[in-house]
Amino acid sequence: MSERLPYTQVENAVIDSPALRPMEREVYIRLKRHRNRKSKQCFPSVSTLAHGLGVSEATIYRARRVLISLGLIDWTTEVGRGHSCRYRFVLEDGAEQETARVLENLKEKKIKIMYFQIYPVGGGFTRPVFL
Protein backbone atom coordinates (compact mmCIF):
# COMPACT_ATOMS: atom_id res chain seq x y z
CA MET A 1 0.00 0.00 0.00
CA SER A 2 1.25 3.48 -0.87
CA GLU A 3 2.38 5.76 1.94
CA ARG A 4 0.62 8.66 0.23
CA LEU A 5 -3.03 9.46 0.54
CA PRO A 6 -4.97 10.27 -2.65
CA TYR A 7 -5.45 13.84 -1.35
CA THR A 8 -3.44 16.52 0.43
CA GLN A 9 -4.48 18.15 3.69
CA VAL A 10 -3.62 21.83 4.09
CA GLU A 11 -4.34 23.93 7.16
CA ASN A 12 -7.12 26.52 6.76
CA ALA A 13 -4.81 29.18 8.21
CA VAL A 14 -2.46 28.65 5.26
CA ILE A 15 -5.27 28.72 2.69
CA ASP A 16 -6.80 31.92 4.13
CA SER A 17 -3.59 33.77 4.99
CA PRO A 18 -3.17 37.25 3.48
CA ALA A 19 0.57 36.95 4.18
CA LEU A 20 1.05 34.33 1.44
CA ARG A 21 1.10 35.02 -2.27
CA PRO A 22 -0.38 32.36 -4.56
CA MET A 23 3.01 30.90 -5.54
CA GLU A 24 4.12 30.63 -1.91
CA ARG A 25 0.88 28.83 -1.11
CA GLU A 26 1.37 26.51 -4.10
CA VAL A 27 4.90 25.63 -2.97
CA TYR A 28 3.60 24.85 0.53
CA ILE A 29 0.85 22.64 -0.90
CA ARG A 30 3.33 20.88 -3.19
CA LEU A 31 5.61 20.24 -0.21
CA LYS A 32 2.66 18.78 1.74
CA ARG A 33 1.87 16.59 -1.25
CA HIS A 34 5.33 15.02 -1.04
CA ARG A 35 5.00 14.26 2.67
CA ASN A 36 4.97 10.61 3.72
CA ARG A 37 1.94 10.12 5.98
CA LYS A 38 3.58 7.54 8.25
CA SER A 39 7.08 8.92 8.66
CA LYS A 40 5.96 12.56 8.21
CA GLN A 41 9.15 13.07 6.22
CA CYS A 42 9.35 15.17 3.10
CA PHE A 43 12.37 15.20 0.77
CA PRO A 44 11.53 16.82 -2.60
CA SER A 45 14.42 18.58 -4.31
CA VAL A 46 14.12 22.15 -5.49
CA SER A 47 14.22 20.94 -9.09
CA THR A 48 11.38 18.47 -8.42
CA LEU A 49 9.25 21.25 -6.94
CA ALA A 50 10.09 23.63 -9.80
CA HIS A 51 9.31 21.01 -12.45
CA GLY A 52 6.02 20.05 -10.78
CA LEU A 53 4.86 23.66 -10.62
CA GLY A 54 6.27 24.71 -13.98
CA VAL A 55 8.42 27.49 -12.52
CA SER A 56 12.11 28.24 -12.13
CA GLU A 57 14.23 27.03 -9.23
CA ALA A 58 14.74 30.68 -8.24
CA THR A 59 10.97 30.98 -7.73
CA ILE A 60 11.04 27.96 -5.41
CA TYR A 61 13.95 29.44 -3.42
CA ARG A 62 12.06 32.76 -3.01
CA ALA A 63 8.86 31.02 -1.91
CA ARG A 64 10.77 28.77 0.48
CA ARG A 65 12.43 31.83 2.03
CA VAL A 66 8.98 33.30 2.77
CA LEU A 67 7.68 30.02 4.21
CA ILE A 68 10.72 29.82 6.50
CA SER A 69 10.38 33.49 7.51
CA LEU A 70 6.75 32.91 8.49
CA GLY A 71 7.80 29.85 10.45
CA LEU A 72 5.65 27.45 8.43
CA ILE A 73 8.52 25.13 7.56
CA ASP A 74 11.98 24.20 8.76
CA TRP A 75 14.42 22.57 6.41
CA THR A 76 17.83 21.03 6.29
CA THR A 77 20.00 19.84 3.45
CA GLU A 78 20.87 16.17 3.62
CA VAL A 79 24.36 15.04 2.78
CA GLY A 80 24.66 12.56 -0.04
CA ARG A 81 23.44 11.97 -3.54
CA GLY A 82 21.73 15.02 -4.90
CA HIS A 83 21.88 16.91 -1.58
CA SER A 84 18.16 16.48 -0.99
CA CYS A 85 16.24 18.77 1.33
CA ARG A 86 14.33 17.52 4.35
CA TYR A 87 11.34 19.57 5.43
CA ARG A 88 9.39 19.77 8.68
CA PHE A 89 5.92 21.31 8.90
CA VAL A 90 5.75 23.46 12.03
CA LEU A 91 1.94 23.53 12.24
CA GLU A 92 1.93 19.73 12.43
CA ASP A 93 5.12 18.94 14.29
CA GLY A 94 5.81 22.11 16.26
CA ALA A 95 5.33 22.78 19.94
CA GLU A 96 2.20 24.66 21.02
CA GLN A 97 4.05 27.96 21.48
CA GLU A 98 5.78 27.62 18.11
CA THR A 99 2.46 26.86 16.40
CA ALA A 100 0.80 29.90 18.02
CA ARG A 101 3.59 32.15 16.71
CA VAL A 102 3.15 30.82 13.17
CA LEU A 103 -0.62 31.31 13.26
CA GLU A 104 -0.10 34.91 14.39
CA ASN A 105 2.35 35.50 11.52
CA LEU A 106 -0.21 34.19 9.02
CA LYS A 107 -2.79 36.77 10.14
CA GLU A 108 -0.59 39.69 9.10
CA LYS A 109 -1.44 41.28 5.77
CA LYS A 110 2.16 42.17 5.04
CA ILE A 111 5.33 40.54 6.13
CA LYS A 112 8.81 41.93 5.92
CA ILE A 113 11.21 39.38 4.56
CA MET A 114 14.62 40.19 5.91
CA TYR A 115 17.93 38.68 5.02
CA PHE A 116 18.81 35.92 7.40
CA GLN A 117 21.44 33.37 8.20
CA ILE A 118 20.59 29.74 8.83
CA TYR A 119 21.93 27.92 11.85
CA PRO A 120 21.38 24.28 12.87
CA VAL A 121 19.09 23.21 15.70
CA GLY A 122 18.26 19.81 17.16
CA GLY A 123 17.42 17.06 14.74
CA GLY A 124 19.34 18.66 11.90
CA PHE A 125 16.71 21.29 11.13
CA THR A 126 17.56 24.93 10.59
CA ARG A 127 16.20 28.19 11.91
CA PRO A 128 16.60 31.65 10.45
CA VAL A 129 18.41 34.34 12.41
CA PHE A 130 17.15 37.66 11.08
CA LEU A 131 19.74 40.33 10.43
The model's pLDDT over 48-101, given as tens digits with 9 standing for 90+, comes to 999 999 999 999 999 999 999 888 998 887 666 666 788 989 888 777 778 888
pLDDT score of 23 more than 80: yes
Range of the domain at 105: 12-130
Which CATH number does the domain housing residue 40 bear?
Answer: 1.10.10.10
- Give me the chain's average pLDDT, please: 79
Domain count, the chain: 1
Assess if residue 1 is contained within a domain: no
Assess if residue 7 is contained within a domain: no
Assess if residue 4 is contained within a domain: no
Signed CA dihedral, 98, 10, 13, 67: sign only: positive
Assess if residue 97 is contained within a domain: yes
Q: Which residue type does 63 have? A: A
Assess if residue 20 is contained within a domain: yes
Please state the φ and ψ torsions of residue 87, each to the nearest 5 degrees. -110, 150
pLDDT score of 10 more than 50: yes
Residue 77 CA: distances (Å) to CA of 14, 111, 119 = 24, 26, 12
